[in-house]
């Protein structure tokens, strides 16, 4: 196991549980069903990606940018904001599903997928900075009130680094199958203690439910949501090799 920082705990039974939860999705990975990646994505990051996808529409880009930054003069109702976010998330999921379909149509075939032993685990207390960065749950585009921020303090999340190995094949120009091994990793995240207002969790998560984040997510982006996460978190070696 790679060197751990002082902020990382030895992997616990919770981290093993995260590994088991991630392995439960291997059937979807083998079938190139990319919709699962959106279904179990950590909600604040899902909202960010969904908003970013919606902003690609030139007719809405400026409006969306103002709303996301909280500078729009338009006061959106909770119900309208909820419906808008639901539409955006459906569009994001459709995009992922199409991505998987294109992979299959191109001859991409998954032979095996496993999630390995947890490499590192971090217990991350929430902070005022985390609350400011999360920008609520897509319901309040201008962020939380001061009272809401105070109620958030004292919460914590757990992040686990899970190595993954994917064996797949693709056709070459002569129609022969090229077999490749890809080593990568995913982040498993769960919120364990969250203060709420009116029984509402402003990160949109279920307490103690595992969500997953792709390794392509930059560490600085992760620290927007988890400011106490170290910059030098432990990560496995990644890459591909022919078989």
Taking only the tens of pLDDT, the chain with its 243 residues reads 333 433 444 678 899 999 999 999 989 999 999 999 999 999 888 888 888 887 766 656 566 556 555 555 556 666 777 788 888 899 999 999 999 999 999 999 999 999 999 999 998 887 654 455 444 443 343 444 444 444 445 578 899 999 999 999 999 888 799 999 999 999 999 988 765 554 445 677 888 899 999 998 888 888 878 888 888 889 999 999 999
* Whole-angstrom distance, CA of residue 144 vs CA of residue 146: 7
Query: What is the model's pTM?
Result: 0.76
- State whether the Cα torsion 173-174-180-185 is positive or negative: positive
- Sign of the C-alpha dihedral computed for residues 145, 148, 152 and 157 taken in this order: negative
Which token pair is 52? 């970013």
Q: In whole angstroms, how far apart are CA 75 and each of 68, 78, 79, 97, 134?
A: 12, 9, 12, 33, 19
Instruction: Using alpha carbons, list the distances in angstroms from residue 194 to 94, 197, 206.
Output: 31, 10, 10
Do 138 and 47 meet the contact criterion of CB atoms below 8 Å apart? yes
Token pair of 35, please? 């919709």
How many whole angstroms separate alpha carbon 168 and alpha carbon 241? Answer: 11
């Amino acid at each position: 196991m790679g060197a751990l920082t002082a902020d990382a705990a030895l992997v616990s039974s919770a981290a093993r549980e995260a590994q088991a939860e991630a392995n439960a999705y291997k059937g979807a990975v083998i079938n190139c069903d990319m919709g699962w990646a959106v279904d179990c994505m950590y909600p604040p990051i899902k909202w960010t990606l969904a908003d970013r996808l919606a902003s690609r529409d030139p007719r809405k880009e400026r409006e969306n940018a103002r709303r996301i930054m909280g500078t729009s003069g338009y006061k959106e109702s909770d119900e309208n904001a909820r419906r808008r976010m639901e539409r955006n998330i459906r569009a994001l999921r459709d995009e992922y599903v199409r991505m998987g379909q294109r992979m299959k149509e191109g001859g991409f075939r998954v032979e095996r997928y496993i999630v390995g032993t947890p490499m590192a685990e971090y217990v991350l207390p929430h902070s005022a900075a985390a609350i400011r960065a999360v920008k609520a749950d897509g319901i309040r585009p201008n962020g939380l009130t001061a009272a809401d921020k105070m109620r958030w303090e004292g919460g914590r999340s757990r992040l686990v680094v899970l190595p993954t190995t994917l064996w797949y094949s693709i056709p070459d120009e002569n129609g022969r199958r090229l077999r490749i091994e890809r080593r990568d990793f995913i982040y498993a995240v769960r919120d364990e203690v969250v203060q709420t207002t009116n029984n509402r969790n402003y990160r949109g998560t279920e307490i103690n439910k595992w969500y997953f984040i792709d390794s392509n997510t930059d560490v600085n982006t992760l620290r927007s949501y988890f400011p106490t996460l170290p910059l030098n978190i432990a990560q496995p070696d990644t890459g591909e090799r022919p078989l």
